[in-house]
Amino acid sequence: MSTAVPSCKGHRYPVEIINHCVWLYFRFSLSFRGVEELMLERGVAVSYETIRRWCTKFGQAYANQLRRRRPQPGDKWHLDEVFIRIDGTQHYLWHAVDQHGTVLDVLVRPPKR
């Protein structure tokens, strides 16, 4: 299994633009049309269909790189339980962090009745 990033050779756009479009799509959970509009504001005319193809082709390699760069959670975890009100209804908020302050998980649930 190869972990090499797929080549952008033969594509019409420079590798920087392709990487930026894929980054925008995955980092901010935008639609393909949303990425298209953002790139148009920057003066780059690229269709949403092209962005979709790039995300399909380069997305997994990009996600693998992000996963490798993510800090590993510490060996000590802390779980905080807090009561909060959402729309006048009391809920439980659980917040899990490690000893470095990295947020591991957040869960909001209504109390059982």
What sign does the CA torsion over 27, 32, 38, 40 have? positive
pLDDT in tens, 45-103: 999 999 999 999 988 888 788 778 777 778 888 898 889 998 899 999 998 988 888 88
Q: Where are the domains of the chain?
A: 15-69, 77-109
Nearest CA among 10, 17, 12 for reference residue 43:
17
pLDDT in tens, 22-58: 989 988 888 999 999 999 999 999 999 999 999 999 8
